Amino acid sequence: MTGAAAATFTDLATIARGAVDTALQRGADHADARIVRRAEERLTMRDGVLASADAPETCGIGVRVWKNGAQGFAAAPGSHRDLVDLAAGVARRAVKIAGDVAPLRRDPVRLAGTADACGAFETRCVENPFLVALEDKRDLLVWTDRALGGRREVVARLAEIRIAREEQWMATSDGGATHQVLVQSGGHIEATSSARGVVAKRSYPHSIGGDFRSGGFEVIRAMDFPGNAERVRDESISLCHADVCPAGERTLILGGAQLALQIHESVGHPLELDRILGGERDLAGGSFVSETDVAEAVEGAESSLRYGSEYVNFIADSTVPGGLDTRGFDDDGMPATCFDLVRSGRLAGVQSGRASAGRLGARSSTSASRAAGWHAPPIDRITNVSLVPGAAGTLEDLISDTEDGAIFADTPGAWSIDQERRNFQFTCEVAWEIRGGRRARLLRLPTYQGSTLPFWQSCDAVAGPESWALYGITTCGKGNPMQSAAMSHGAAPARFRGIRFIDVKRS
Amino acid sequence: MALLEQDHAFEIADALIDASEADETEVTLECVEDRFIRFSADGPTQTADRESYELAVRVRFAATGGGFREARARCGGIDEETAFGALGRALTLARIATDLPDAVPLGGPTEVPETSPSRPTQDHSFREKAQWIRAAQERADADDLAPAGLARTTVASRSLANSAGRRVFGATSRAEFSLTCADRTRAAGRAQSSAARTSVHTYADEIDADLVAQDVAASAVRGREPSPIDAAPMDVVLAPPAVSALLTWLAAAGSGAQELAEGSSFMSGRLGEELLDRRLSVVDDPAHPRFAGWRFDGEGYPTLRTSLVASGQLVGPVTDARWAARLGLANTGHAMPQPSAAGPRSSALVLEPGETDEEQLVEAIEDGLYVRGLHYVNLVDPQDLVLTGLTRGGVFRIRGGEIAEPVENLRFTHSLVDAFRSVIGVGVKLERQPSLMGGEVVAPALALRDFRFTSAAPGASS
């Protein structure tokens, strides 16, 4: 085992500052250092037993430098005891890499703005999730599991809760020094049933790994897993007996959980500036939005890109309470912010980090640069991007105001979109055909296709603030090598006209 | 930081096992060194020289009614305070865990084949990676193309030791050079045509950057000004990257015993059936020369070469200790790290080669498409492996058995089971390819009849 000189947590800001100083002494033009310590707790109940109980922790330092117009990044793990010995060496390695790759740069990296913010941020928690007794967490899962069972059609039951606490110390060569404590809590439940040769799954409150918020254990209590388990179970059984959603062109009402993914894929990603500039073309892809579109949007031109109908407004907000990307500063050290992405249907802004904003010639970034941890260099990232609520009342108001034959669908099942974020296909977990202003026939595998701009332009109603909620995405993959990030998307149910459905069983 | 040697890894594990109060204790330790340069048309955009540890401690207390209560904790360091902190957290969690009545005892001593990374891969420098990228830049410049990609080498070691006396260790390496070249001629600098290829090998000296650059640039040039095309079922030749993107889902959603038992696998209720074309055989083989992967699973059992499909007939799933005991099958050694709510999973899928080279596959098609790659393939319905995704990185019309003009991208929505019943031919040359959704597969090209394209994808770069 390795031994090392002792350091206290209060020293970590000094260690980060020391790494930056070393990089500058070694010839870096700019530098920043991030020390990140992350602890999680994951409890997973499957089919009546606690199938997985896991408590991962990591801590390490990442140093990023710019020298001769090129970036270098190095990172190493270490406990708070031995980071003091590691930091200078990591900084030296980062500077060497920048020097090695600089001859390949065609155009020097220009960083927009100044990362001189100093301050602290801490997620507000009503109930510290790490102080809730493990027995209470287990019992919550046991009760939920029991409620998910009791019917012979159920072939798999799953209930999971996860909590995370991430503490970050960052120093920049612009004089920035920040400290953040970010806490996230959440989970999900699932029932999988089998009947008539059909296997169907139903999830709550979200699929794709569950729903999460920044906050404490109060987030998990509010999800009320035991109170929703029987409904989830019964819907999974009913789906086994349901018809496949038929093909054709119909009106579509999307629920908030599905809208969150629709926003993520067709608004969040195409409005990341690094994608627009070609920096992601090697794996995830580019964007149908052009540099000209961005320039017009930033200038506030009234003729900027028509992204959606007049009912469509999107904001990017890394300050909203409960958001998974709600924090004080991004990983470039820039203060969190809130701004319009789409205003009354027109493109109004994009999400950027300092490097992409600099390439565009902008004065500053929009604080959207994040890394997957201490071991990864930051890249432009979707923040909490939300559809602003409209005036169409509740979900039931929206349904009652919609013609027979329309479809209400919710909860992501499968999704796919092209590399420029234009042509998409989504399958939801569940749908109902609307008859007489109410949900009528249950349908499975509802699958709709579309193209981003016509889709959002077809939106003619968005439900009101009373139906608006944040939904967490915890598995957003981007970068090469792939980095995972979390963010939230707020939405109230919305209605879209003339949407093409396909029958995936007869396609 | 250097890769952990076997003796050092076991010394750390033994200290934790000796100190553990649990009835059974297992320690796994993975050490990774990773170096990459990512680049776009402007040159390098991100780099990293990084290392990481993952030390996992799994502890088990015997349950009064049989079986165990168990939990795991992980940490990113191997110093004493960090490692013993993980042991303490695992013990705390295991004390509140529920009984697992059918949990089988940890396995004892076993032998696994030795594996090791090559020294040149371990020492591969940033300047050497820069040479790969320079080759791509020069080739792209010659054809007025914008390059983007990744040059990366990774070496890793993994060990597992437990209180039943099991000691297994392995080390491996991976080298990757991926390149996308996009046409610069579109207005506002956006691409109309693009082509991509990823070269993945166990050793860095197997990467031929010039060959990759030449292939990608030539395809991007040939793909300029693609024609619109209506979506309809069409005969296709899928190049190995496209085949791999499909097969990744067979590994992720259809190969494991848990999905089989729950009825969601395409194998459920069909074992023994000749469900697929007789020319198709699928195995999980970590010892395949193109993989050279880990030879033991998340519980330290040897990962066996396992036949999933033999000449079109469904043979069986991959298993782990728990699911093998539950279903009365042999343990094939495909456990995830335990404890886990996920069942066993294939991690080294190989579609066995046929006897036809790619040109002959194209010659067998009168009117169809040649597809270099697929993008964002996702699972719609696991029971029949219904998948959806798009063509990407070059799609060309086949006319009269020859590759003809480029066409715009298309979306497919198709059952992999149906597709693999409609085989025209199986390629002879194997490639190892990663998938956007994770995982790697070794596969040849395939020619398939009536592949179901369900919509056009106008506007997306080819």
Q: Which residues of chain A have pLDDT under 70?
A: 1-10, 507
**Torsions phi, psi for B217 (to 5 deg):** -65, -45
pLDDT in tens, B138-192: 999 999 999 999 999 999 999 999 999 999 999 999 999 999 999 886 644 344 6
Helices (H), A79-132: 83-101
Q: Does A68 touch chain B (CB under 8 A)?
A: no
Each residue of A375-406: pLDDT tens digit?
Answer: 999 999 999 999 999 999 999 999 999 999 99
- Which of B38, B45, B415 is the mutation pick for testing A, counting most A CBs within 10 A? B45
Looking at this protein, which amino acid is placed at residue A164? A
Read out DSSP for A20-31? HHHHHHTT-SEE
| pLDDT reported for residue A2 | 37
The reported pLDDT for the residue numbered A208 is: 87
DSSP B283-341: EE-TTSTTT---SB-TTS-B---EEEEETTEE---B--HHHHHHHT----S-PPSSS-S
Q: What is the mean pLDDT of residues B46-71?
A: 96
Burial status of residue A403 (CB atoms within 10 A of its CB: 0-12, 13-18, 19 or more):
exposed
- Give the pLDDT confidence of B213-266 residue by residue, as tens digits: 999 999 999 999 899 999 999 999 999 999 999 999 999 998 999 999 999 999
Q: How far apart are CA A58 and CA B22, in angstroms?
A: 24
pLDDT at B383 exceeding the cut of 50: yes
Q: Write down the pLDDT at residue B163.
A: 98
Check CB contact under 8 Å for B42 and A142: no
pLDDT in tens, A46-92: 999 999 999 999 999 999 999 999 999 999 999 877 899 999 999 99
- The interface predicted TM-score (ipTM) is 0.96
Cβ within 8 Å, pair B73-A377: no
Residue from the list A96, A105, A158 with its beta carbon closest to the beta carbon of B341: A158
Give the pLDDT confidence score for residue B462 in this predicted structure: 57
Chain A with chain B: Cβ pairs closer than 8 A: 307
The pLDDT, as a whole number, for residue A3 is 36
Prior bond of A412 cis (ω within 30°)? no
User: For all residues of chain B together, what is the average pLDDT?
Assistant: 95
Residue B460, pLDDT above cutoff 70: no
**Under the phi-then-psi rule, with left for phi > 0, alpha for psi from -120 to 50, and beta for the rest, what region is B152?**
beta
B94-144 residue pLDDT tens: 999 999 998 999 999 999 999 988 889 999 999 999 999 999 999 999 999
Average pLDDT over residues B14-29: 98
Indicate the range of A152-161, A280-289, B294-303, B433-442 predicted with least confidence. Answer: B433-442
Query: Is B135 part of the contact surface with chain A (CB cutoff 8 Å)?
Result: no
Alpha-carbon distance values, B136 to A94, A351, B206, B216, B296 (Å): 24, 29, 17, 9, 37
Asked if pLDDT for residue B312 goes beyond 60, the answer is yes
Using alpha carbons, select from B414, B421, B420, B410 the residue that is nearest to residue B386: B414
- A52:B340 CB<8 A: yes
List the single residue in A73, A103, A292 with the smallest CB-CB distance to B46: A73
In chain A, which residues have their Cβ closer than 8 Å to the Cβ of B42? 105-107, 279, 359
For residue B439, the model assigns a pLDDT of 83
CA–CA distance, A411 with A378 (Å, rounded to integer): 30
What is the amino acid identity at position A407?
Answer: I
pTM: 0.96
pLDDT at A507: 61
Nearest to A199 among B191, B379, B383 (CB): B383
**So what's the pLDDT on residue B119?**
86
CB of B116 within 8 Å of any CB in chain A? no
Asked whether residue B361 carries a pLDDT value surpassing 90, the answer given is: yes
| pLDDT, average across residues B27-53 | 97
